[in-house]
Chain A
Amino acid sequence: MLRGAALLFAALCIAPLLVIATAWLIAVSPETAEAWQHVVKYLLTSYIIDTLLLGFGVAFTAVVVGVSTAWVSSRFSFFGQSILQFAMILPLAVPAYVSAYSYGWLFEYAGPLQTLLRDFTGWEKGDYYFPQFRNLGGAIIVIGFSTVPYVYLLARTAFLTQPLEWWQAASSMGSYPRHFFWRVALPAARPFVFAGGLLALMEALADIGTVSIMGVQSFGAGIYRSWFYLGEPLVAARLAAVLLIFVFLLMSVEAFNRRKQRYSAIIQNNEIKKIPLTFGKSIFAFLLCLLPVLVGFVIPILVLLRLLSYNKVFSMALLDGEYVWQTLRLGGLSGLLVAVVALVMALAERFYPKGWLRYFTALANVGYAIPGAILAVGLMLLFGWTQKYFSADSFMTATIAALLIAYVVRFVATAYQPLRSGFTRIPQEYDQASAALGKNKLVTFFRVQLPLLWLPLSVAFLVVFLDTVKELSATLILRPFDVKNLAIVAFEFASDDRHVEASPYALILIALSTVAVIILFKLYDKLKVYR
């Protein structure tokens, strides 16, 4: 039963990816073959280079900033720390494409900064140097800082839950915190850091919005361009298949990395006494932790507020509560559904850790690296084919079902991670004790595991909720009529160059997400207590 359900869900997640991968097996028309040759000759090199630079640049940024801030805020006490340690994850509330647009506008020639500079100095074009923001570097900064919280949260949890005895033993031997970090804390936290970095990397690979604003020729951009501007779905699918293989390789490395470390322990009363920093170091720590908050949250919001202030005719009547409700409803529904699907898969892995099933569940997690638009169209192809076997009157996109399936495929990885680590923290002995008492798996799940899982479950729900609320491209194409959330309204204005009108919707979207992010952080803090 359990394995059947898990297999079904995994198959559902893998099917659209398989559709994409079959592109290499289908015989192509001469025209498509020519288009593929064209892509190989003129574009593939830059796709590969830009994708690698973007992916690893983003992962590097997220890991360096995420780990250093997690370390500083989990071990030391300094000025502003209590606020900063949670403000650090606020960037999760800002969609990367909003941030990208904000920075693009802020730094461009006609934007406010350069205009101010010219007004002040009387300079003209060519009289001064000003760095370009709309390029690969800009994209790395935007996506990198928007994914810092992934690494930060995981690394912070890792640091906070490391046995206190390590720390005590190290200090009794006269080790400096610096040495302890490099020799003990970081190596022990490596699987967490790696997982966070991988999430950041996958986010970068799946991005279309930011790269198109920044003019980066990544695989995501190339897939989109081949499909929608060149009109060659098969060329797009071939590129997507290459991307999939790349992601799968990365995930295998991660799985291998994790296998070497498998421990489960419940640590009670793990309150670390934080080391107070001197004034100078305190300032440094403060600035370090402030940086990602400024870059990923405060500045984009200030830019949006500036845009909003241009709007003299803006009236609150515009802000139909309907959009907010739709946003909440879609996010909530998606969060619940994806969390349940991920729970079934994680549960199956718990009870059958050595079986063939785990390969399927691993594969099912790859969807996170596929751009939403590509996944959506892959799903539509799939629906189109299956439709022939059902009544001609029904079609998936008539209801919210198609959209929810897309969310499951795309976001199951984000819900799966916290649940799996939630399971690993429940000692196997508990299951064995339950079994020894003659209880079956169902009872074991409800009476033993679920009570210990409700925090990871809530985390899974919130993470998916946040992702859904910010999701744009799959929502746009798979939604039924009348489904119009804040992201879509903001996008419709923005795509028509009406950024001033788009700004209030983007701001409300961020405000909603901020609430979810704050709850998420509170849960994370509780999570570490009983672990």
Chain B
Amino acid sequence: MFKKSLLLFAVLATGLSALAAETAAPKAAETKPTEKELVIYSARKEELIKPLLDQFTQKTGIPVKMLSDDAPKLLARIESEGAASPADVLITVDVANLSIAKDKGLFAKLNSKTLNKNVPALYRDKDSEWFGLSKRVRAVFYNKEKVKPEELSTYEDLADAKWKGNILARSSAHPYNQSLFAHIIKVHGDKYASDWAKGFVTNLARPPQGGDSDQLRAVAAGEAKLAISNSYYYGKMLTSELPEDKLVAQKVGIFFPNQKSAKGQLNGVHVNISGGAVLKTSKNAKNAQKLLEFLSSAEAQDLYASLNKEFPVLTTAKSDSVLASWGPFKEDKTLLHSWAPHSKQATLISDQVGWK
């Protein structure tokens, strides 16, 4: 028995050290990126951003590696790593995340002619710290059998009693809804926004659940007449290889609200961005800036549209056939960084009116 336990102990010890060595060895080399290796913390999942990064590496010879998680956790990680952080670039969705990170003083100021030229002023930080890389339109989707597009008008109208029990949306806590609501607060003020949210919640067909695609599926199945969702989910369903997804997309129509809105309402559709910034602690800032410039260039912007069905920020980017089929639309021109700070208020009001 003694031998057996000694053996067990030996196995444990060697196993532990072998596994540790196996894990630590390659990591040790990575703690200090070489001159050219770029480290990206990304709130966008690898699947979406990988093709773009691959192309960047192919073109420039700069190797790239990335780590993905939700933006608030990545920010916590960057703060915790402090000056030693290996991260060079932060890529995230939602302008609120970018503006929070900026307020924490995590970003470097960039002086790039290319970025300033490619990214319209509306979609970049006024102090040149973050830059939008794609536009994400929060549109209204309707069941084609039950709703005629003529019945639809504005975001504001979604709180009207005529839609009672007929709207679907994901959780208010999700940044996409948080931002739309922050935008409404910025345009209308707290009082109106609170009443609007109350009406909107009453109109919900079920407690918020699932992601944007789930809302589209439910509308197609007839659980409600309308849903709010980002447009690229719909775009990807239209071009999906899964017949089930295509079927959903065929039953659902896309509507860009607030195209003919009254004075005082949002003057066009709500547009959010995905964007990027170079971190202040980056030891590879030049290449980091190169990456952002590449992502704003025509070839990358085309990919955003053709692969992800997002709208390019670059006005001269090639038009994707699916996106073009939705026709032109008017965007609300309220500066993004002017409504981003209302996100917190949006969450607070959502709690008060019981929008889960």
A124 touches B222 (CB 8 A): yes
- What sequence of 0s and 1s flags, for each residue 262-279 of chain B, a beta carbon within 8 Å of any chain A beta carbon? 000000000000000000
A477 touches B76 (CB 8 A): yes
Q: Which residue of B lies closest to A380 (CB)?
A: B80
A451 touches B23 (CB 8 A): no
Q: Would you give the shortest CB distance from B110 to chain A, in whole angstroms?
A: 24
**Which residues from chain B contact A337 at a C-beta distance below 8 Å?**
16
Q: Is B235 an interface residue (CB 8 A)?
A: no
Q: In the bound complex, what is the Cα–Cα distance between A313 and B242 (angstroms)?
A: 8
Q: Which 10 A-B residue pairs are closest in the complex by CB-CB distance? A: A451-B1, A497-B213, A110-B221, A380-B80, A450-B5, A109-B223, A384-B80, A228-B72, A110-B217, A497-B211
Which of A392, A457, A500 interacts with B242 by CB under 8 Å?
A500
A231-B100, A497-B214 known; A110-B223 Cβ under 8 A: yes
Q: Is B8 an interface residue (CB 8 A)?
A: yes
B80 touches A230 (CB 8 A): no
**Which residues from chain A contact B241 at a C-beta distance below 8 Å?**
312-313
A329-B19, A333-B20, A397-B80 known; A477-B73 Cβ under 8 A: yes
**Which residues from chain B contact A110 at a C-beta distance below 8 Å?**
214, 217-218, 220-221, 223
Q: Which residue of A lies closest to B39 (CB)?
A: A481
Q: Would you give the shortest CB distance from B71 to chain A, in whole angstroms?
A: 9
**Which residues from chain B contact A115 at a C-beta distance below 8 Å?**
221
A333-B23, A399-B24 known; A451-B84 Cβ under 8 A: no
A464-514, CB < 8 A from B: 476-477, 479-482, 492-493, 495-498, 500
- What sequence of 0s and 1s flags, for each residue 84-117 of chain A, a beta carbon within 8 Å of any chain B beta carbon? 0000000000000000000010001110001100
B6 touches A446 (CB 8 A): yes
Q: Is B27 an interface residue (CB 8 A)?
A: yes
**Which residues from chain A contact B100 at a C-beta distance below 8 Å?**
231
- What sequence of 0s and 1s flags, for each residue 308-348 of chain B, a beta carbon within 8 Å of any chain A beta carbon? 00000000000000000000000000000000000010011
A393 touches B347 (CB 8 A): no
A134 touches B209 (CB 8 A): yes
**Which residues from chain A contact B126 at a C-beta distance below 8 Å?**
none
Which of A215, A228, A496 interacts with B45 by CB under 8 Å?
A496
Q: Which residue of B lies closest to A38 (CB)?
A: B348
Q: Is A363 an interface residue (CB 8 A)?
A: no
Q: In the bound complex, what is the Cα–Cα distance between A373 and B9 (angstroms)?
A: 33
A383 touches B80 (CB 8 A): yes
Which of A132, A215, A451 interacts with B2 by CB under 8 Å?
A451
Q: In the bound complex, what is the Cα–Cα distance between A256 and B76 (angstroms)?
A: 39
Q: Is B69 an interface residue (CB 8 A)?
A: yes
Q: How large is the interface on B (under 10, 10 to 19, 20 to 34, 35 or more residues)?
A: 35 or more
B178 touches A229 (CB 8 A): yes
Q: In the bound complex, what is the Cα–Cα distance between A495 and B93 (angstroms)?
A: 13
- What sequence of 0s and 1s flags, for each residue 312-352 of chain A, a beta carbon within 8 Å of any chain B beta carbon? 11000000000000000100110011001000000000000
B236-280, CB < 8 A from A: 241-244
A429-484, CB < 8 A from B: 446-447, 450-451, 454, 457, 476-477, 479-482
**Which residues from chain B contact A227 at a C-beta distance below 8 Å?**
72
Q: Is A48 an interface residue (CB 8 A)?
A: no
Which of A124, A392, A481, A495 interacts with B65 by CB under 8 Å?
A481
**Which residues from chain A contact B77 at a C-beta distance below 8 Å?**
380, 397, 477
A313-B241, A384-B80, A493-B47 known; A477-B1 Cβ under 8 A: no
Q: Would you give the shortest CB distance from B46 to chain A, in whole angstroms?
A: 6
Which of B4, B48, B86 interacts with A398 by CB under 8 Å?
B86
**Which residues from chain B contact A217 at a C-beta distance below 8 Å?**
356
B82 touches A387 (CB 8 A): yes
**Which residues from chain A contact B69 at a C-beta distance below 8 Å?**
476-477
A104-B210, A492-B47 known; A481-B67 Cβ under 8 A: yes
Q: Would you give the shortest CB distance from B238 to chain A, in whole angstroms?
A: 14
A-B contact count (CB 8 A): 185
- What sequence of 0s and 1s flags, for each residue 212-232 of chain A, a beta carbon within 8 Å of any chain B beta carbon? 010101000000010111110
Q: Is A42 an interface residue (CB 8 A)?
A: yes
A104-B210, A394-B84 known; A229-B173 Cβ under 8 A: yes
Q: In the bound complex, what is the Cα–Cα distance between A392 and B173 (angstroms)?
A: 36
Q: Which residue of B lies closest to A101 (CB)?
A: B210
Q: Which residue of A lies closest to B241 (CB)?
A: A313
Q: Is B207 an interface residue (CB 8 A)?
A: yes
Q: Is A518 an interface residue (CB 8 A)?
A: no
Q: List 15 A-B contacts (CB under 8 A).
A: A135-B207, A225-B173, A228-B72, A312-B243, A329-B19, A380-B80, A384-B82, A395-B81, A395-B85, A397-B77, A399-B28, A450-B9, A476-B73, A481-B65, A497-B212
A332 touches B15 (CB 8 A): yes
Q: Would you give the shortest CB distance from A303 to chain B, in whole angstroms?
A: 15
A225-254, CB < 8 A from B: 225, 227-231
B233 touches A479 (CB 8 A): no
A337-B16, A492-B68 known; A446-B221 Cβ under 8 A: no
Q: Is B58 an interface residue (CB 8 A)?
A: no
Q: In the bound complex, what is the Cα–Cα distance between A311 and B244 (angstroms)?
A: 10
Q: Would you give the shortest CB distance from A81 to chain B, in whole angstroms?
A: 33
**Which residues from chain B contact A381 at a C-beta distance below 8 Å?**
80
Q: Is B299 an interface residue (CB 8 A)?
A: no
**Which residues from chain B contact A495 at a C-beta distance below 8 Å?**
45, 211
Q: Is B351 an interface residue (CB 8 A)?
A: yes
Q: In the bound complex, what is the Cα–Cα distance between A217 and B218 (angstroms)?
A: 23
A446 touches B5 (CB 8 A): yes
B99-145, CB < 8 A from A: 100
Q: Is A299 an interface residue (CB 8 A)?
A: no
14 further A-B pairs in the complex, CB-CB below 8 A; given A398-B86, A476-B69 = A35-B348, A115-B221, A135-B207, A215-B209, A229-B72, A336-B15, A336-B16, A376-B73, A380-B77, A395-B81, A400-B23, A447-B2, A496-B48, A497-B210
Q: Which residue of B lies closest to A376 (CB)?
A: B73
Q: Is B60 an interface residue (CB 8 A)?
A: no
Q: Which residue of B lies closest to A477 (CB)?
A: B73
**Which residues from chain B contact A114 at a C-beta distance below 8 Å?**
221
Q: In the bound complex, what is the Cα–Cα distance between A275 and B74 (angstroms)?
A: 58
Q: Would you give the shortest CB distance from B203 to chain A, in whole angstroms?
A: 15
- What sequence of 0s and 1s flags, for each residue 1-41 of chain B, a beta carbon within 8 Å of any chain A beta carbon? 11011101100100110011011101110111000000100
Q: Which residue of B lies closest to A339 (CB)?
A: B12
Most buried by A among B4, B208, B221: B221
Q: Would you give the shortest CB distance from A366 to chain B, in whole angstroms?
A: 22
B218 touches A482 (CB 8 A): no
Q: Would you give the shortest CB distance from A433 to chain B, in whole angstroms?
A: 15
Q: Which residue of A lies closest to B214 (CB)?
A: A497
Most buried by B among A42, A132, A481, A482: A481
Q: Is B147 an interface residue (CB 8 A)?
A: no
Q: Is A184 an interface residue (CB 8 A)?
A: no
Q: Which residue of B lies closest to A334 (CB)?
A: B19
Which of B26, B80, B223 interacts with A482 by CB under 8 Å?
B26
B45 touches A310 (CB 8 A): no
A134 touches B207 (CB 8 A): yes
Q: In the bound complex, what is the Cα–Cα distance between A310 and B68 (angstroms)?
A: 27
B80 touches A311 (CB 8 A): no
- What sequence of 0s and 1s flags, for each residue 383-420 of chain A, a beta carbon within 8 Å of any chain B beta carbon? 11001000011110111100000000000000000000
Q: Is A125 an interface residue (CB 8 A)?
A: yes
Which of A229, A392, A399 interacts with B84 by CB under 8 Å?
A392
Q: In the bound complex, what is the Cα–Cα distance between A90 and B351 (angstroms)?
A: 39
Q: Is A290 an interface residue (CB 8 A)?
A: no
Q: In the bound complex, what is the Cα–Cα distance between A215 and B214 (angstroms)?
A: 14
